Structure 1
Amino acid sequence: MVEETEVETIDAAFMRKTLKGTKIEPSFAGALSFVRRKYSKDLTGVDVAITGVPFDLSVSNRPGTRFGPEAIRKASAQHSWGPVWPWKFDPFDTLAAIDFGDCAFDWGAPGEIPALIERHIARIIESGASSLVLGGDHFTTYPALKAYASRYGPIGLVQFDAHRDVEPDEGGRIDHGSMFNYAVREGIIDPERTIQIGIRTCFDGEETYGMKVVYADEVHASSASDIATMIKQRVGDGASYLTFDIDCLDPSTAPGTGTPVPGGLTSYQALAIIRELKGVDFLGMDVVEVSPPFDHAEMTSNAAAMIAIELLCLKAWAKGAR
């Protein structure tokens, strides 16, 4: 007779009985939720709902980010082993977190998708939980921000990216290059509390829209602590959101993305900056633009998974983990 404990040594995504803690299982086997969190649609008592938005209909170059959530979940398995270096704590000893599954939509009705994403995130917010979105292209951040702004008013934004995504656009287009233009004009984000990190592209008119822009060369010339101090001073204590476009990283670190730009951050730089953001309790977070068809040896999805885990460590720190 097989003991129940033997059966439960794998597939924690379905078999775990508590939302907290880490249950070790082979990284090469078992059901692939994000870091083996329980798959659930029950948001009762949840601190963070991790959810995928497998959308890539707004890309301007190479498609494939619809496969991003799946790839990030797969890569996360090798990191689901307890304490996270160098935090030296397991965020799930503090956070009740679930894998909320993916946002559902009909790819044949693209005009309906933004509202469905917004509604999906609003459901998480209404429960009292925070969202950690696995993208999906960067347009998906726009409806997520709308959901938060509906509840909290204009949101401060921390954006890690190679592109500013504020290209001129009169509205109505589903485009991953202009949605933060919309977000400013519509009062969804507060440009005076917005900072864009790692930028290394030009844009029409060089209009900042009141945002603070930190170009990649300045990041390379600064310490992680200096960049984090800029971020903290910019967003202040108000409601804020962190979005990480994986093309902020250099293509040598993250080749699997739709619009790679040489000269970007290393994974060490990005992770070091995130760690220095202790004390900032972001309402929502995302990691977007992972395009597995252009990845190599899971480099990009692995980096994205680690960034997402570091963001969860920030949430755990804000809740008292040490």
Structure 2
Amino acid sequence: MAKNKLIGDPTIISMYANQFSFLARPLTRDMTQGFDAAIVGLPFDLATTGRAGTRSGPNAVRQASGNLGWEGRRWPWPFDAFKYLKVADYGDLDFIPGNPDDLNREIEHHAEKIITSGTRMLSIGGDHYVALPLIRAHFKHYGKMALVHFDAHTDTYPNDTEIDHGSMFYHAPKQGLIDPEHSIQVGIRTEYRPEDHAFEVIDAAQANDISADDIVASIIKRVGDLPVYLSFDIDCLDPAYAPGTGTPVVGGLTTDKALKIIRGLTDVNIVGFDLVEVNPAYDHADITALAGATIVLEFLYLLAHQKHQLSL
């Protein structure tokens, strides 16, 4: 009888059954096992100003990742990331509903556990507010960072209240967490005044007219040698490619261009990453969740690329 390859082979996973973790990675919080990366879900949408529902984003992305597991290595990368990376799914952080301060404490506690173990933290939201406590947690370990931010909105809107998914990058520079002079935003296509902040901006019209290589070159030049926190709001993509989000804005990037830009960041020292604003209540055929899962996988390949290069 032929051997059933689904039994005992973690590289071959079902696209529809027992999909409890991202790409069927081990579901654990034991960071003593030498993991290179941990996927963490942040089911939070209390700071949403538009359509609620991003609390369901982490599980939607996990479910969509099942469509990527059967491929083996991810095209066009010339290697299989999981031959070089040991990846865990940490599960979702739990917090008191309606209490953002509890969310902040939970993120700080678990991020410290993950980061100090030498593991990279990859977060799936949730609304974009989660980026602020995540950046605070990473700052404690890495110091001031450069921000690479993909979004339709600058999220630099002045607000005395932190709990707003449009004000994180107003507060983060004021708190000394990121250096705006070395930070860059890509895909912006809502009103902003350059005099209100010091970020470099490649707006969506520019990004759609120039090559991915040109955008990568601008990012590399801007961030310099600083450690980088990468925050990817799924509404950076045009609604044709990501309808399932709370604040869709037409005229955005294609998934193809976004993926090409991310693949070009192999030489950037990315120390933290979040994917946010996937809202499955407004998704069609899992288009947005699949885009999100693919972006997370591409980031894993960025991490694996470094080890792959050392093996050559």
Q: Same fold (TM over 0.5)?
A: yes
Alignment partner of 1:214: what SS? strand
Q: 2:111 aligns with which of 96, 109, 121?
A: 121
Counterparts in 2 of 1:36-115, with a 5 A limit? 36-44=24-32, 45-81=34-70, 82-115=72-105
Aligned residues: 306
Identity of aligned residues (%): 47
Q: 1:224 is matched with which residue?
A: 212
Q: 1:262 aligns with which of 245, 250, 274?
A: 250
- What amino acid does structure 2 have at the position aligned with 1:239? P
Q: Conserved in 2, the CA contact under 8 Å of 1:161 and 1:246? A: yes
Counterparts in 2 of 1:1-322, with a 5 A limit? 9=6, 22-44=10-32, 45-81=34-70, 82-170=72-160, 172-203=161-192, 205-320=193-308
Alignment partner of 1:84: what SS? coil
How far is 1:208 from its partner? 4.4
How far is 1:206 from its partner? 4.1
TM-score, structure 2 normalization: 0.94
Cα RMSD for the two superposed structures: 1.7
How far, CA to CA, are the matches of 1:206 and 1:114 in structure 2?
Answer: 30
How far, CA to CA, are the matches of 2:254 and 2:308 in structure 1?
Answer: 29
The 10-residue stretch of structure 1 (25-34 or 72-81) with the greater mean CA deviation from structure 2: 25-34
Deviations 1:212-235 (A, max 9, x none): 111001101111100001001111
Q: Conserved in 2, the CA contact under 8 Å of 1:32 and 1:77? A: no
Give unmatched runs, 5+ long, in structure 1.
Answer: 17-21
How far is 1:318 from its partner? 2.0
Deviations 1:55-99 (A, max 9, x none): 000001001000000000000011013200001321111011100
TM-score, structure 1 normalization: 0.91
How far, CA to CA, are the matches of 1:132 and 1:232 in structure 2?
Answer: 21
Q: Conserved in 2, the CA contact under 8 Å of 1:48 and 1:95? A: yes
Give unmatched runs, 5+ long, in structure 2.
Answer: none
The 10-residue stretch of structure 1 (270-279 or 260-269) with the greater mean CA deviation from structure 2: 270-279
Deviations 1:241-282 (A, max 9, x none): 111000000001100000000000000010011111121231
Q: Conserved in 1, the CA contact under 8 Å of 2:19 and 2:66? A: no
